[in-house]
Structure 1
């Protein structure tokens, strides 16, 4: 876990800042009554559903594009270290968690909870704050995935596109070039 945080420090910080920023804006509203929370849930449902749809679509697209990235990485003339493939694997894991989280939250909000008559109004406060918390977390995770992907793509550009000497190029290859 320490290694994951060390290698992805910038991406994680970016995601945490986004989570805090989006969550803080919601928490500045202060205390709500159950009825106010119910009204806010009703008015925010389309936006939350759109957020979940967007994140699920983006996550699925990123997973598919990671296959393309692997093909480019494997087919390159430069022999890449295992660290590169671990980066891609980490992005895939994190992205899958994000995808599942967005689908679960989307499914949860397709339950017509605001139309139920037997739900106490105090529950709506809890549901409202949970909605804000989880949508902030999903947004932060999406930003983290994008920043991790950006880091990996820029590494590939430096190695394959620009032909630069890079820490992810296997030392076996650089030794072979020195012998020629």
Structure 2
């Protein structure tokens, strides 16, 4: 995916790592860096940006089908389904999901107000001050809320303990070539 493409229309994007939103003009040359978790990370002469799956068509037909994998959505709730949903969230700069990166510190399932479930997640980031933190946390929240019988989801970013590369799972280490 290292070939250069041009955006076919004005495209909303999120600057990485600042987390600020912008619009990339039509005709902007981009290099696709990764297409994980239903989003696309591109490099431009202005830096790295994340393009949401709903705007993937701006990269051309081959990217129009990029989306979060809803076809694998569970039909019943389980704690494992929450973990699996979180594994669909990716740091836009690292090709490993947030669970295997070791960013999820705590996950609590409680009864929800309408008879469903309330999910509370504590997560961290690989670097303090990363502007993408709220974006990644919101991705996690939206994936959890999409699960059956989830009434509420709360995803908060914490800084204790400080994340270290030793927290990466064996699967994540293998994906990153750290074995």
Superposition TM-score tier, normalisation by shorter sequence: under 0.3
TM-score w.r.t. length of structure 2: 0.26
TM-score w.r.t. length of structure 1: 0.25
Larger helix fraction of residues: 1
Q: For CA contacts below 8 A with separation 6 or more, give which structure has more relative contact order.
A: 1
